[in-house]
A and B are shown apart, each in its own frame.
Chain A
Amino acid sequence: MLSTIFTADFFAAILRATTPILFATLAAAIAAKSGIINMALEGMMLFAALFGVIFSSLTQSWAGGLLITMALGGLLGLILAFFVLNLKTDEILAAIAINLVATGGTVLLMLAFSGDRGTSISIQSVPAPKLDIPFLQDVPVLGSLLCGHNVMTYLALIAVVVVHIFLYKTPLGLKIRAVGENKNAAESVGISSRRIQYIALILSGILVAMGGFFMSGGYMSMFTKDMAAGRGYIALAASSMGANTPIGGFLVAVLFGIAQAFANVMQLSTIPYELIQMVPYLTTLIGLGIYSYSRMKKRQKAGGK
């Protein structure tokens, strides 16, 4: 088994498992920085996975499908924002509602488009391609490690840097952090916290939509019912473990990716598949426990002296 682990394939498997979580984690981080827990990531991702299949098929282009999916993801973020910010709906309950609508709505939509209620196999979608980087791919070891991954994987890695710069170097990022940390302070200088949170949630929707797109157009090449499988929730945990920073979230998402890739490798062993499926969730749970515990101790230390 060890021999299967230290290979380029295994590295690719990690990146593949990390990609959707990473997008969702960044989405969770932006929302959290603005002061909102976006638990609707799960439903948004599910919607996006279906939209990706539908629109890449309609446009016959993965890029076209991706752009429309991102736009619709932003729209979902906007809807969540409307309920949470305008109608003052509890953000957790609003998220639960959106997730419910997603579970039912995706099946209805798929039925309407494909006539099948389990998978979208009959829809001719265009998945995102794998990317080979000229020259680099000829370099030994590095080439096989760094090349040939899905375009969305590269986009996810770029997104980490972009979101980091966005949050810490741009005026809007500063405003998002200010609103999340002290809403009243931001309001007092005329920043409309509502507008900022709207923007944060729309961006969050766009990012998680990219993750959803990858689920059905990269991770797999079709949509299946409930295919988000808790990734939106895992992203919440990952983001909070990463102190809601893009870099921290990235590290935790990779950890999750490793757990998932391990699980995939172990499928070949004699360990029951159901137990293997538990690994990523168990890893996240234990990680969350350890992180929270160390943070609690740190706080107590600061207070205790």
Chain B
Amino acid sequence: MNSMRKFEVLRTVMAILIALLISFVVIFFVSEDPFNAIKWLLTGPLTSKRNFFNVVEAMIPLIFTGTGVCIMFAANQINLASEGAFHLGGLVAAVVALKMTLPAGVSPVVGIFLAACAGALFTAIPAIMKIKTSADELVSSLMINYLALYFSTFIMKYFLMDPAIGSASYPIPEASTLPTLISRTRVHPGIIVALAVAVLGYVFLYKTRIGYQLRLTGENQKFAEYSGISIVSVILISQLLGGFIAGMGGGIELLSPIYDRFSWTSLLGYGWDAIIICTLAKKNPLYTPLSAFFLAYLRTGASIMARYSDVSLEIVQIIQGVIILFIVAQQFLSRYKHKMIAQEAKSALKDEEVA
């Protein structure tokens, strides 16, 4: 077992190295001064306090959607609607902030809670469709993400829009905005909530009855069914919860010091990022902060690089793509793995013969 874990770590590290290597090659092609670009990419986040805390800020939404996806994927519900749930969460938080007058401490809490509920209801759509019509949640969740996007833009344009700006809502009032935790950064209490969600997500999946049901169903649905677990409730609970967390993340992100208005007119991609996080974390929410840190570091590095060199930010999507490809490639390094296992088996055989 131990050797298996070692192997997994080795493979993850190798995947990351290969991805970086490929991105270096790309940088060498597109850049006049590739070494400078690479330097900023790798060390940019460490060059100042502000840059480093940019990483922390960027982690927050990733932890939320990552944990949400971990829960859905652990139950083998391949629902890709966290993207839309996050988006709707942001919209709902903005609506609450702009349209409801609530006391300063209460407003963000209500906003975030309603955002989470909206996210839950949203990701439940593919779940309900699956239960009622047996439609594959993968395909339906891909469709509804676009519905979330256009619906949010519609609400923003017709009900929230600041005519002085044109493509964004009125500013979020002070009373609804989350405070900053550390001066001269934009790190907000969302990080604490995010870490708590990751830990709670872990406890939920690995320590509770329902979490056990979810994982059992995720690993072998027929077995779960035969054991007397209600598959319908697993389908529903996992996706409600996944969307709840993603929606909460969207709400918190919008009310954070990072945004002062609802200005999301295209999907932000946190739903897709969540899948990378979940893959890196091996579907265990406890590891999402670590994975999110890695991804956020890479992104912050890339945006610093984009600022100080001639390489653009999008390189980071290539790196992410390549990392996923290699981490989930089961056969990647498999010859090494087989050798390791065959060695163990052979030595075990010898032991038996001696005994």
Q: Are A and B close enough to touch in the complex, i.e. CB under 8 Å?
A: yes
Spell out A's residues near B (CB within 8 Å).
37, 39, 83, 86-90, 92-94, 96-101, 103-105, 107-108, 111-112, 117, 226, 229-230, 233-234, 236-237, 240, 272, 274-275, 277-278, 281-282, 284-285, 288-293, 295-296
Q: Which residues of B contact A86 (CB under 8 A)?
A: 331
Stretch of B131-139, B190-198, B346-354 on the interface side: B131-139
B140 contacts A by Cβ under 8 Å: yes
Subset of 12 A-B contacts with CB under 8 Å: A83-B329, A87-B329, A94-B324, A96-B275, A230-B142, A237-B140, A272-B158, A281-B143, A281-B146, A281-B150, A285-B147, A293-B135
Q: How far is the CB of B298 from chain A (nearest CB, A)?
A: 12
Contact at A107–B312, with CB atoms within 8 Å? yes
Residues 67-87 of chain B, each 1 if its beta carbon lies under 8 Å from chain A, else 0? 000000000001000000000
Residues 16-58 of chain B, each 1 if its beta carbon lies under 8 Å from chain A, else 0? 0000000000100010000000000000000000000000000
A236 touches which one: B78, B139, B331 (CB < 8 A)? B139
Given contacts A285-B144, A296-B134, is CB(A104)–CB(B316) below 8 Å?
A: yes
Contact at A101–B321, with CB atoms within 8 Å? yes
B30 touches which one: A112, A229, A274, A284 (CB < 8 A)? A112
What are the 9 closest A-B residue pairs judged by CB atoms, nearest first?
A104-B317, A87-B329, A274-B154, A101-B321, A104-B314, A292-B135, A293-B133, A233-B142, A88-B330
B266 contacts A by Cβ under 8 Å: yes
B109 contacts A by Cβ under 8 Å: no
Q: How far is the CB of B174 from chain A (nearest CB, A)?
A: 29
Contact at A93–B147, with CB atoms within 8 Å? no
Contact at A237–B139, with CB atoms within 8 Å? yes
Q: How distant is the Cα of A96 from the Cα of B275 in the complex, in angstroms?
A: 8
Q: Which residues of A contact B136 (CB under 8 A)?
A: 240, 292
Q: How distant is the Cα of A160 from the Cα of B332 in the complex, in angstroms?
A: 37
Q: Which residues of B contact A234 (CB under 8 A)?
A: 143
B238 contacts A by Cβ under 8 Å: no
B157 contacts A by Cβ under 8 Å: yes
Q: How far is the CB of B337 from chain A (nearest CB, A)?
A: 12
A97 touches which one: B30, B158, B321, B332 (CB < 8 A)? B321
Contact at A93–B324, with CB atoms within 8 Å? yes
Q: Which residues of A contact B330 (CB under 8 A)?
A: 87-89
Given contacts A233-B143, A272-B157, A278-B150, is CB(A88)–CB(B321) below 8 Å?
A: no
Which range contains the number of B residues in contact with the other chain?
35 or more
B303 contacts A by Cβ under 8 Å: no
Q: Which residues of B contact A236 (CB under 8 A)?
A: 139, 142
Contact at A103–B325, with CB atoms within 8 Å? no
A83 touches which one: B129, B138, B272, B325 (CB < 8 A)? B325
Contact at A233–B324, with CB atoms within 8 Å? no
Question: What 17 new A-B contacts, CB under 8 Å, besides A108-B315, A230-B146, A236-B142?
Answer: A86-B331, A87-B332, A93-B325, A97-B322, A100-B272, A103-B269, A104-B316, A104-B317, A112-B30, A226-B266, A230-B142, A230-B145, A234-B143, A274-B153, A278-B150, A293-B133, A296-B133
Taking each of B26, B139, B320, B322, which has the highest tally of chain A beta carbons within 10 Å of its own beta carbon?
A: B139
Q: Which residues of A contact B325 (CB under 8 A)?
A: 83, 87, 89, 93-94, 97-98
Contact at B317–A285, with CB atoms within 8 Å? no
Q: How far is the CB of B335 from chain A (nearest CB, A)?
A: 12
Contact at B133–A108, with CB atoms within 8 Å? no
Q: How distant is the Cα of A285 from the Cα of B136 in the complex, in angstroms?
A: 11
Contact at A293–B134, with CB atoms within 8 Å? yes
Please name the residue on chain B nearest to A272 by beta carbon: B154
Contact at B140–A274, with CB atoms within 8 Å? no
B102 contacts A by Cβ under 8 Å: no
Q: How distant is the Cα of A79 from the Cα of B282 in the complex, in angstroms?
A: 24
Contact at B147–A282, with CB atoms within 8 Å? yes
Q: How far is the CB of B74 from chain A (nearest CB, A)?
A: 15
Taking each of A105, A236, A281, which has the highest tally of chain B beta carbons within 10 Å of its own beta carbon?
A: A281
Contact at B317–A105, with CB atoms within 8 Å? yes
Q: Which residues of A contact B324 (CB under 8 A)?
A: 93-94, 96-97, 100
Please name the residue on chain B nearest to A91 by beta carbon: B328
Q: Which residues of A contact B314 (CB under 8 A)?
A: 103-105, 107-108, 111
Contact at B143–A274, with CB atoms within 8 Å? no
Q: How distant is the Cα of A284 from the Cα of B144 in the complex, in angstroms?
A: 10
Q: Which residues of A contact B320 (CB under 8 A)?
A: 97, 100
Q: How far is the CB of B276 from chain A (nearest CB, A)?
A: 8
Contact at B321–A288, with CB atoms within 8 Å? no
B288 contacts A by Cβ under 8 Å: no
B181 contacts A by Cβ under 8 Å: no
A101 touches which one: B133, B139, B318 (CB < 8 A)? B318
Q: How far is the CB of B242 from chain A (nearest CB, A)?
A: 16
Contact at B317–A100, with CB atoms within 8 Å? yes
Contact at B139–A288, with CB atoms within 8 Å? yes
Please name the residue on chain B nearest to A279 by beta carbon: B150
B151 contacts A by Cβ under 8 Å: yes
B279 contacts A by Cβ under 8 Å: yes
Given contacts A101-B321, A108-B318, A293-B134, is CB(A90)–CB(B328) below 8 Å?
A: yes
